[in-house]
Amino acid sequence: MRALVTGGAGFIGANLVRALLEHGHFVRVLDNFSTGSRLNLTEFANDIELLEGDVRSYERAATATRKVDVVFHQAALPSVPRSIQDPLTVNGTNVDGTLNVLLSARDAGVRRVVFASSSSIYGANPALPKREDMRPMPISPYAVSKLAAEQYCRAFSTAYELETACLRYFNVFGPLQDPTSYYAAVIPKFVLAALEGRRPTIFGDGTNSRDFTFVANAVSANLKAATGPNDAGIYNVARGERISLNELLEAMSSYMGVAVEPEYAPARPGDVPHSLADISLAESEFGYTPSISWREGLERTIDWYSRSTAVTAGAGQR
């Protein structure tokens, strides 16, 4: 397979690039490095074709999609808080950028586009677990942008017979995730704070819960979706377990052998209180099996950040 990974220098993208290379595939990466890091590609820089550019440019997207079979469209501006602060830029990347990728894929004769969507689409819908046939009720501009991009994928499948698969990620975490960004996700923020002896901040009372999904599970779903049925499908990608933030900190404390005491702050606008996925559709349609539990994934992530932080600290002392 000849694969393009947009946003391949990002957290999920770089993990996906590594897996594609391990399976012997040709990999091209398109990234503008606005949120991704060149360091994420260092270990296999000589094994990939790297194009620097923005998916908001049709010309750059068209260059990237030439002579590839599958596009893994990971490029996006993530984060609900970011989208509330700057909805216009988020929309430009997540909606216009996806349209450019789909257009260029159509024009280049790409077989399939696997799109990285988000569980935030379910939004204010209180029903649990979340199923793909539920009514979307987005409550943030980020969620709206992902829903619009999904609809573009479905329209291109119908109008142009471009195969698409949309994967609704549920709180993916793991190695390479940036813990220092203002918009960083909760697990890397918590782990870094604990390693530095700081109290992590929980927005709300800590009873809010998430279906935390280790990145290897999300990567596996992408690889399977690339060859799964051609039905313009939309699939939840998660572990299928619901963990509260308080429970998450308790597990961290137990594994790290330190008391990680949080500071509580008011809940943020756009955050949903609970999230839990029904993953039976992805299991039945293309054999997705989340083999790594949230707890094992958390332990692997803590170990990775512990090594990474130690290396960074050592480099700063030389």
**How deeply is 100 buried, as exposed, middle or buried, from its count of CB atoms within 10 A (0-12, 13-18, 19+)?**
buried
Q: Is 152 among the catalytic positions?
A: no
Residue 221 phi, psi (nearest 5): -60, -40
Contact 93, 240 (CB under 8 A): no
Q: What radius of gyration, in Å, describes the C-alpha atoms of the chain?
A: 19
Residue 167 phi, psi (nearest 5): -110, 115
Question: Which residues sit opposite 94 in a β-bridge?
Answer: none
DSSP state of 231: S
Selecting among 122, 142, 152, 305, the annotated active-site residue is 142
Q: How many angstroms separate the Cα of 285 from the Cα of each of 17, 214, 231?
A: 24, 21, 10
| Tokens (6 digits) for 285 | 């349609």
Residue 10 phi, psi (nearest 5): -85, 180
| Active site amino acids | 142
